[in-house]
Structure 1
Amino acid sequence: MGKRKGDDSSEDDPLPKKHKKEKKDKDGAATKLKKDGKEKKDKDKKDKKEKHKHGDDDEEKARRKEHKKAEKEKDPAKEKHKKLESEELRPAPAPPAPAEPKRIVGPQAFPPEAEPKDKKQKKDKKDKKSKAGPVATREVQLCSANAFKDRSRPFGMELDGALVVDLADGGAAIPAGVQIGWRVLEVDGKPVPEDDIGKAAEAVRKAEEKMANKSGKASVLVSFIAEEPDHWKQASRALAGKGR
């Protein structure tokens, strides 16, 4: 069979094939250029959008800063008022602790109940004497050649403290006029404790022995309170009542 005339046109005519290739390349370049242009446009648009966004943030921050500064400069009294309010809400400081009282060093005064019982009794008796006024006293000269045989009864006087409670026969006290109920006050000018047991008898006995050593040539001066104590008076009255 013979070839058709139109079938060999591409082989016989190389120009159309070249033209197609150029066209294809041209179309591809145009497509790529268009694509690149679109990508660039999108990128520019995106960059512009981001730039605009960040720019708005910076502007907003700057605007707020300026507004705050303007408010502060505009109303200083308001800031002062806020400061005063904060100081008022702050708790007040605690008052200082009171100072400790100064300790005074010196003699301490003890209450009456802290005093010993015997001292308190002496004080009470002394007060009673001072209130009662002066008491009657008697000075008696006691003299004997020998000391009384019973050491506990000097000059024949039995003493309860300083109180004469009994008189023995043969002693120098009865002839000298000493009476039961008197109290020894002094022996040769030396005071005698009133309530100390044995002290008055000891003082009188010591003076008696000293006198005896001089063979009765000396005497002992004894001062008495010649007034019976209240309890002795009451006892005497009671005894007198029973005797009737």
Structure 2
Amino acid sequence: MNQDPPLNEPQPVYDLQRVGYAYQSQPALLDITLQVRAGQRIALLGANGSGKSTLLRLLDGLYFPNAGTLRAFGRRLDENALRADADAYAFRRRVGLVFQNSDVQLFNPTVYDELAFGPLQLGWDKPRIARRIDAMLEQFGVGHLRHRSPHRLSGGEKKRVALASVLIIEPEVLLLDEPCSGLDPLSQGSMVQFLRDSRGRTLITATHDLAMVPDIADDCIVLREGRLAARGRTAAILSDGALLRECHLAWRRQEDDNLQRF
């Protein structure tokens, strides 16, 4: 049963109680119970197939639980939650998701159109949209690409445009699925620097790259085969070699007994 937080504690951004999700008959998430507080920076850890991407899509309202309850900003998030335009507007204004594969996210003819799409859907006026686009193009260093087709950009450029297209509406919650996947070292460094500097908003980053985690997260959630394996402070999770090996995030070389992290 859901319980309200004590009166002296703020309402959690997300409250999941025994949440499950299955693709047809194949379980992807099982019995997930956790809360996310406003302003938390969380790394969502797990090997490929552990359920990280599915959980992000639930938090973004793209999928809905098959079991249990999921609340976002104090309201239940299910099949009926976003049917009313006002409810959908309020939620989409507050939560943004950056997909692992930028090509899935980018579909407009130009970078400018890509950045304008979200604000247009939210009913912003054109002068406000133009000002925000100029600001985002400058912030992410892609002003010279404004008239280019997103699908003709490099991997790093696509990732920056995808991120800008989400951040242009200034969401309170930013969800990222493997944000450094496929990026060269320079682009990876830029992404990590951005995430390191992203204080104030709730940040949930799915990754199996443990090297970046201390820079981007204060807390970790670990999934294994769709179940919640552990959660805690980043330092404690990353120092637990047995947990990392059990969740296929690390291995130990027999010849020198050194812990190797992926």
TM-score after normalising by structure 1: 0.21
Under a length normalisation based on structure 2, what TM-score does the superposition of the two structures give? 0.20
